[in-house]
Amino acid sequence: MTIDLTTITIAGARDALRTKKYSSVELTRAVLLRAKEKNATLNVYAEFFDDAVVAAENADRMIAEGKDTDLTGIPVAIKDNMLMEGKISASGSKILMNHRGVYDGTAVKKLKDAGAVILGRTNMDEFAMGSSSETCAYGPVKNPHDVTRVPGGSSGGSAAAVASVGALGALGSDTGGSIRQPAALCGVVGLKPTYGAVSRYGLMALASSLDQIGPFAKTVEDTELLFRAITGFDLLDSTSVPESKRGKPTHKEKLTIGVPESFIAMDGIDPDVRENFRSIVARLKDEGHHILPVELPTLPSALAVYYVLMPAEASANLARYDGIRYGLSKEAQRLIDVYTMSRGEGFGKEVRRRILLGTYVLSAGYYDAYYNKAVAVRRLITEELLRAFKGVDVIATPTSPSPAFALGEKTADPLKMYLEDIFTVPGNIAGVPGISVPSGTVLRGNTALPVGVQFMAAPFGEDTLFAVGRAVERIREFSR
Amino acid sequence: MKAMLRKEDIEHLGTLARIGLSEQEKTELLAGVEAVLGYVSNVSGVVTDAESAPVAGSLRNVLREDGEAYPGGAWSEAILANAPRREDDFFKVGQIL
């Protein structure tokens, strides 16, 4: 039978699989076919796995035996920075192009155990450093809504895979916005869970105090299904938070939504994006939710804090890529030359820039002025946000300051690129969860480009984010 | 706080970070690193007090229970399969000094 992929969701496919409307093998073949067709122009996947159909056969068996979960038989994609046993994971870098995972990362393993079918690994900015997926060693990813534009990043491949129905869901990682921003630019839902909610075991570290794995999907419901499957305490990640310390979800019919007015009024925010955001907030108010202006004066400093802490942590984390145990390795007589030559050739320009920045802010004489100061400001921002959540359930902002930009538009100026993360970085700095939900489109010429609204909540407030996300979906459904 | 960097500083950072850089890259990186440092210097303008002094993060040590230790060599072959150069069950490295 032919499967209609245009409106397909994970929840819908799960029901169809359970009622035997089609099998996982049929679904997997259909989605793979579409993904491969699209890949020629979009460059979403670095690699398709040839054992996907075998995984689908196993899933069909699980369903036949009544051992299925919500994700059994569902074709998903995984960002190229998560380890999978026996598979290459390159983190979009030349230095790891021949590197094979020795084990499954926890989030991947949980998806596999749930019966999800992993179609392949998706392209990304090298080592997740970027907001456009242009620094990928496998070439840039294109936005499915306009192939002359970027999909956002760094998890651009995962976002574009879901947007182009080259997968029904995907995993990404988010250090400063790398799930939420591409979700917004590709018109899908993306969740950065609370720091400690999802195990990072098997995720290649960028900045360990900020990194978090999260899902992409077409709908909030699907995003929630993926999140439920990957969250949980894991002894193998020392930052994983035990279930007993996560608090109980609260359910409210009407939410109090905080809007940081002066943050949103800042220069550099696209007027169309701002207008779209205001109209969504107004509609939420019409639906009976309470809108409350909040003052978060330190929030605009979050981006500067981020660009001290992230390079500092990255410079330490990426020290392991030295050409000795895996990856690209240049031959040289002296060991030190193996290091400098392998890293000099293996790392791309942006990665080198950030490692040097991190090395600088951590060096004697500058450590106090940059790193220690940033850590202190981080604490202020965190306290400010946590205080705000005593008065509001969620804080709303646009997800990104502009819609998808043209390929090459921001590659020459790192600061321009970094500003893409202005609204998403605070969530990582404070470790709170954030979700990006499609909020409509803005016009560029004749092309309608998707934009997103972001909501942040108190730690482990993912349920509140799903509730407000569904409210936005209902509004948009109604206005169609 | 304005960071004034010279090309030699970039070269030194490259040495510290074990990244070999060409002359052209040094010039390119100089501009990029300096621009970002200028931007992040904004953090110095935020007033922080003793209360917000840097503290060690929320990391805690995690110890495995005694008992099921990995059997010796169980993962060696899979790990060494990634080795650029190996000799028997060892990673092979060049001369250190």
Domains: count for chain A: 2
Domain endpoint, select from A223, A245, A267: A245
> What phi, psi does A12 have (nearest 5°)?
-65, -45
B18 to A339: CB separation less than 8 angstroms, yes or no: yes
Q: What is the CA radius of gyration of chain B?
A: 23
A356 to B46: CB separation less than 8 angstroms, yes or no: no
Q: Which of B52, B62, B84 sits opposite A376 (nearest CB)?
A: B52
Q: Which of B16, B18, B95 sits opposite A333 (nearest CB)?
A: B95
Q: Which residue has the higher pLDDT, B69 or A91?
A: A91
Give the residue-averaged pLDDT of A327-342: 95
Whether the CB-CB separation of A159 and A190 falls below 8 Å is answered with: yes
How far is A182 from A380, CA to CA, in rounded Å? 28
Q: pLDDT grade, residue B94 (50/70/90)? A: confident
How confident is the model over A362-386, as pLDDT tens digits?
A: 999 899 999 999 999 999 999 999 9
Give the residue-averaged pLDDT of B65-77: 83
- Is residue A154 annotated as a catalytic residue, yes or no? yes
- % of chain B surpassing 90 pLDDT: 56
Domain endpoint, select from A245, A268, A287: A245
pLDDT number for residue B59 = 65
A115 lies in a domain? yes
Whether residues A389 and A299 fall in one domain: yes
Give the residue-averaged pLDDT of A246-270: 92
> What phi, psi does A457 have (nearest 5°)?
-135, 175
Whether residues A45 and A88 fall in one domain: yes
Strand partners, A396: A455
pLDDT number for residue B51 = 56
How far is A40 from A449, CA to CA, in rounded Å? 21
Task: For residue B75, give the chain A residue with the closest CA.
Answer: A102
Residue A4 token pair: 């209609």
pLDDT of A7 higher than 70 = yes
B40 to A376: CB separation less than 8 angstroms, yes or no: no
How far is A88 from B7, CA to CA, in rounded Å? 37
Residue A38 token pair: 């699209």
How far is A228 from A10, CA to CA, in rounded Å? 13
> What phi, psi does A373 have (nearest 5°)?
-65, -45
Whether residues A227 and A265 fall in one domain: no
**Averaged confidence pLDDT in chain A:** 96
A237 lies in a domain? yes
Strand partners, B86: B91
A212 lies in a domain? yes
Task: For residue B14, give the chain A residue with the closest CA.
Answer: A356
Give the residue-averaged pLDDT of A407-415: 92
Q: Which of residues 314-343 of A touch B (CB under 8 A)?
A: 315, 319, 322-329, 332-341, 343
Closest CA to B40 of A245, A398, A418, A92: A418
pLDDT of B1 higher than 70 = no
Q: Which of residues 72-101 of A touch B (CB under 8 A)?
A: 98-100
Give the residue-averaged pLDDT of A138-156: 98
Domain endpoint, select from A245, A279, A296: A245
Give the residue-averaged pLDDT of B63-84: 86
How far is A472 from A422, CA to CA, in rounded Å? 22
pLDDT number for residue A69 = 98
A314 lies in a domain? no
From chain B, the residues in CB contact with A372 under 8 A are 54
How confident is the model over A30-41, as pLDDT tens digits?
A: 999 999 999 999
pLDDT number for residue B69 = 74
Q: Which of A91, A155, A178, A240 is catalytic?
A: A178
What structural domains does chain B harbor?
A: 7-45 (1.10.20)
Number of H helices, E strands in chain B: 3, 2
Residue A140 token pair: 């840039």
- Is residue A79 annotated as a catalytic residue, yes or no? yes
Q: Which residues contact A179 (CB under 8 A, 6 or more apart)?
A: A155, A158, A159, A172, A173, A190, A191, A192, A214, A215, A216, A436
Give the residue-averaged pLDDT of B3-10: 89
Question: A191: part of which helix (H) or strand (E)?
Answer: strand A189-192
pLDDT number for residue A108 = 98
Question: A63: part of which helix (H) or strand (E)?
Answer: helix A52-64
Q: Which of B19, B52, B97 to mutate against chain A (most A CBs within 10 Å)?
A: B19
Task: For residue A328, give the chain B residue with the closest CA.
Answer: B84
Whether residues A115 and A195 fall in one domain: yes
pLDDT number for residue A79 = 98
Closest CA to A17 of A406, A25, A223: A25
B96 to A363: CB separation less than 8 angstroms, yes or no: no
A227 lies in a domain? yes
In A317-446, at which residue ranges do the beta strands (DSSP E only) sit? 394-398, 434-444
pLDDT of A63 higher than 60 = yes
Q: Which of residues 397-426 of A touch B (CB under 8 A)?
A: 413-415, 418
Whether residues A284 and A392 fall in one domain: yes
B19 to A356: CB separation less than 8 angstroms, yes or no: yes
Q: pLDDT grade, residue B67 (50/70/90)? A: confident
**Averaged confidence pLDDT in chain B:** 85
Strand partners, A448: A443
Whether the CB-CB separation of A90 and A328 falls below 8 Å is answered with: no
Whether residues A14 and A99 fall in one domain: yes
Cα→Cα distances A197→A244, A431, B59, Å:
12, 10, 14
Whether residues A54 and A87 fall in one domain: yes
Q: pLDDT grade, residue A247 (50/70/90)? A: confident
The most distant pair of C-alpha atoms in chain B lies apart, rounded to whole Å, by 58
Q: pLDDT grade, residue A480 (50/70/90)? A: low
CATH of the domain at A278: 3.90.1300.10
Domain that holds residue A240: 10-245
Q: Which of B19, B20, B46 sits opposite A301 (nearest CB)?
A: B46
A416 lies in a domain? yes
How far is A306 from A310, CA to CA, in rounded Å? 6
Whether residues A139 and A287 fall in one domain: no
Give the residue-averaged pLDDT of A170-179: 98
A30 lies in a domain? yes
SS3 call for A35: helix
Q: pLDDT grade, residue B97 (50/70/90)? A: confident
From chain A, the residues in CB contact with B86 under 8 A are none
ipTM of the complex: 0.91
A343 to B17: CB separation less than 8 angstroms, yes or no: yes
- Is residue A390 annotated as a catalytic residue, yes or no? no
pLDDT of B53 higher than 80 = no
pLDDT number for residue A273 = 98
Whether residues A241 and A268 fall in one domain: no
Whether the CB-CB separation of A203 and A178 falls below 8 Å is answered with: no
Q: Which residue has the higher pLDDT, A478 or A133?
A: A133
Whether residues A272 and A168 fall in one domain: no
Whether residues A117 and A194 fall in one domain: yes
Q: Which of A332, A357, A363 sits opposite B94 (nearest CB)?
A: A332
How confident is the model over B26-51, as pLDDT tens digits?
A: 999 999 999 999 999 988 888 887 55
SS3 call for A48: strand
Whether the CB-CB separation of A170 and A79 falls below 8 Å is answered with: yes
pLDDT number for residue B63 = 80
Q: Which of B46, B60, B64, B85 to mutate against chain A (most A CBs within 10 Å)?
A: B46
Q: Which of B1, B25, B46 sits opposite A369 (nearest CB)?
A: B1
pLDDT of A275 higher than 90 = yes
Q: How far is B72 from chain A (nearest CA, A)?
A: 16
A348 lies in a domain? no
Residue A397 token pair: 């902002």
Q: Which residues contact A293 (CB under 8 A, 6 or more apart)?
A: A258, A259, A260, A261
From chain B, the residues in CB contact with A377 under 8 A are 43, 46, 48, 52
Whether residues A40 and A179 fall in one domain: yes
pLDDT of B54 higher than 60 = no
pLDDT number for residue B56 = 52
